[in-house]
Chains A and B, each alone.
Chain A
């Protein structure tokens, strides 16, 4: 039983990780908490539902959906946030803008698709596997595997490619990066693309697993993934992965032993504890004030 719940927790956790890296990437490069991220996750799931519904074939539909979701991220950056950076607005303005954007996206989803829960087709069904006393769906392994591969890919992009180097340079010093010839705004857009695409994949995987989609699905997941990012050290990629797994596990175990309604609170409690006692998270750096 415990083993089963651990598998469940890790599967849930890796999904949180996929969403959490989006927060980390954007925070790392802009020092901004992107509140609209949860709604992008929901958007991705809805687009997948629509495209699969058009009988495109599952894989092409998902790929196109992820691309579209990534483009939404770029749009959010270009239209919502870049003008504020040009104006040198206070950080709070960007934060509030992302809140506004999350409202626009989520409520447009509600208006277009209706707020009830809709059916999402099963993504994979390869039966179950028995390990000891636990019966585990093969799809959980598949989801875990896909997510792991994607996260690995992401890590490679950030740490091993030229554009990843540009991202990390901008994180350190965007003025200097600009002077070195890096097209800062393009790299920032790319960062948004990566984060949003990951969220889109996460949304699709979750919807395929539970077989349901609804416009507000991004709210809870968004908050919990944020908690995961903060736990791991927001801005640190591998931190988000660890954070996601921890939150997923904690939540599943809490649901098993304490009851479902308190499971949701676990992420918040972890978030508050981290913020109060070690805001830099597990892997983050402590900031030194410069006067």
Chain B
């Protein structure tokens, strides 16, 4: 084990040193990818990886950074999807109007759920979120007049951008996904690196002590929940307009567990973790078709094994790289200005 750790440490130091260049390189690769990959099937998988990365990033804000285990995030995914779908199919709104509204509605539901329940600790909160997920699914299943009940909503239009319909074929959906991923990552990164992020991590580490240092703990937890619900809702709206059909069974407790597995596997409390987790867990059922039946057994095993051997996830845990001081702040021992 120590040998692996050393190699891992050297890799992370290397990545950190060249991180700006690597980031630009990654961006270039993702921009030209659709032209390099001919198979629409693979593009579709990559788009789904993007959707689940956004879901993972938003759940991570609540679970990895704030330490609240939410088992009901599929509910926000669903709310965003249904809201956007209904606004589009019934009221003729285009994606670029219905999706943000769907996200806002999801965020608002996050606020409504969070306010009364974030006083609860540990298991109780988790179970309430689980119950919420089920209640939402039941509402969508029974509210026939709005949601078509078990039949779901069909013929959800694809997004139209300045007159062009975005599809997988014309790579439009891919770039829309990319935009969504970049904006979400930027926002969450900004939150996490600020005083808000520090407050959330402190709540995760020791909520009582955080409160004793002046942090308004309940308010912060509700904020994390609301922001997280917003981003998940947007991902839901994207999903609805990409797949063009949704029903209550697309958003079950199983989906919540998949999102949780992505965060746990990839790395709690990191920005890169959800990408790794999503890439692995979305592509594996496709790559290993024959294991499809065993999918959820594998998710369960991942949860058990990760908790046993590396609870913070592959990329999570204490970083080996030094802390990034803001530009212009002098680092103590060396008295050289840190970049």
A265 x B135 contact (CB < 8 A): yes
Cβ of A80: which chain B residues have Cβ within 8 Å of it? 304
Cβ of A149: which chain B residues have Cβ within 8 Å of it? none
A97 x B308 contact (CB < 8 A): yes
For residue B266, CB closer than 8 A to chain A, the reply is no
B69 x A96 contact (CB < 8 A): yes
A137 to B141, CA, bound (A): 33
Contact with B along A90-118 (1 / 0, CB 8 A): 11111111011111101110010000000
Cβ of A96: which chain B residues have Cβ within 8 Å of it? 69, 260, 264, 303, 307
For residue B202, CB closer than 8 A to chain A, the reply is no
Q: Quick one: which of A14-63 are within 8 Å of B by CB?
A: 32-33
A22 to B174, CA, bound (A): 49
Instruction: Select one of A84, A104, A108, A264 contacting B307, CB under 8 A.
Output: A84
For residue A172, CB closer than 8 A to chain B, the reply is no
Instruction: Select one of B130, B135, B297, B307 contacting A97, CB under 8 A.
Output: B307
Q: Binding site of A, secondary structure by majority: helix, strand, loop or mixed?
A: helix
A136 to B128, CA, bound (A): 36
Min C-beta distance of B151 to chain A, whole Å: 15
List the count of A-B residue pairs having beta carbons below 8 Å apart: 99
Instruction: Select one of B69, B127, B138, B299 contacting A103, CB under 8 A.
Output: B299
A89 to B295, CA, bound (A): 27
Closest A-chain residue to B126, C-beta based?
A95
A89 x B124 contact (CB < 8 A): no
Min C-beta distance of A42 to chain B, whole Å: 14
A-contacting 9-mer, from B114-122, B185-193, B242-250: B114-122
Cβ of B302: which chain A residues have Cβ within 8 Å of it? 100
Q: Binding site of B, secondary structure by majority: helix, strand, loop or mixed?
A: helix
Q: Say whether, besides A103-B296, A107-B296, A93 and B307 are in contact (CB < 8 Å).
A: yes
For residue B142, CB closer than 8 A to chain A, the reply is yes
Closest B-chain residue to A94, C-beta based?
B307
Cβ of B170: which chain A residues have Cβ within 8 Å of it? none
Q: How many residues of B contact A (CB 8 A)?
A: 38
A226 x B304 contact (CB < 8 A): no
B122 x A275 contact (CB < 8 A): no
Q: Say whether, besides A33-B123, A96-B69, A96-B264, A103 and B297 are in contact (CB < 8 Å).
A: yes
Cβ of A272: which chain B residues have Cβ within 8 Å of it? 117, 128, 131
Instruction: Select one of B127, B131, B294, B307 contacting A89, CB under 8 A.
Output: B307
Q: Say whether, besides A99-B71, A268-B134, A268-B135, A104 and B300 are in contact (CB < 8 Å).
A: yes
Min C-beta distance of B75 to chain A, whole Å: 13
| Most interface-central of B123, B296, B301 (chain A CB within 10 A) | B123
Q: Say whether, besides A97-B304, A276-B116, A291-B208, A92 and B122 are in contact (CB < 8 Å).
A: yes
| Most interface-central of B117, B303, B304 (chain A CB within 10 A) | B304
Q: Quick one: which of A95-148 are within 8 Å of B by CB?
A: 95-97, 99-104, 106-108, 111
A80 to B124, CA, bound (A): 21
B294 x A111 contact (CB < 8 A): yes
B127 x A33 contact (CB < 8 A): yes
A261 x B300 contact (CB < 8 A): no
Contact with A along B281-299 (1 / 0, CB 8 A): 0000000000001111101
A11 to B122, CA, bound (A): 32
Instruction: Select one of B67, B120, B135, B208 contacting A275, CB under 8 A.
Output: B120
Cβ of A223: which chain B residues have Cβ within 8 Å of it? 130-131, 134
A275 x B264 contact (CB < 8 A): no
Closest B-chain residue to A36, C-beta based?
B300
For residue B311, CB closer than 8 A to chain A, the reply is yes
Cβ of A103: which chain B residues have Cβ within 8 Å of it? 257, 296-297, 299-300, 303
Contact with A along B243-268 (1 / 0, CB 8 A): 00000000001000100100010000
For residue A271, CB closer than 8 A to chain B, the reply is yes
Q: Quick one: which of A176-219 are within 8 Å of B by CB?
A: 219
| Most interface-central of B117, B124, B253 (chain A CB within 10 A) | B124
B117 x A275 contact (CB < 8 A): yes
Closest B-chain residue to A261, C-beta based?
B142
| Most interface-central of B130, B260, B299, B307 (chain A CB within 10 A) | B307
Min C-beta distance of B209 to chain A, whole Å: 9
For residue A289, CB closer than 8 A to chain B, the reply is yes
Min C-beta distance of A114 to chain B, whole Å: 11
| Most interface-central of B69, B260, B294, B303 (chain A CB within 10 A) | B303
Cβ of B131: which chain A residues have Cβ within 8 Å of it? 223, 268, 271-272
Instruction: Select one of B69, B120, B294, B299 contacting A100, CB under 8 A.
Output: B299
Q: Say whether, besides A33-B123, A261-B138, A279-B120, A100 and B301 are in contact (CB < 8 Å).
A: yes
For residue A83, CB closer than 8 A to chain B, the reply is yes
- Give 17 A-B contacts (CB < 8 Å), ordered by A residue: A80-B304, A92-B67, A92-B122, A95-B69, A97-B303, A97-B308, A99-B71, A99-B257, A103-B299, A104-B304, A106-B296, A107-B297, A219-B253, A230-B124, A275-B120, A276-B116, A289-B208
Which B residues have a C-beta under 8 Å from some C-beta of A?
67, 69, 71, 116-117, 120, 122-124, 126-128, 130-131, 134-135, 138, 141-142, 208, 253, 257, 260, 264, 293-297, 299-304, 307-308, 311
Which A residues have a C-beta under 8 Å from some C-beta of B?
32-33, 80, 83-84, 89-97, 99-104, 106-108, 111, 219, 223, 226, 230, 261, 264-265, 268, 271-272, 275-276, 279, 289, 291
Given contacts A96-B69, A268-B134, 7 further A-B contacts (CB under 8 A): A33-B123, A92-B69, A95-B123, A97-B303, A100-B307, A107-B296, A111-B297
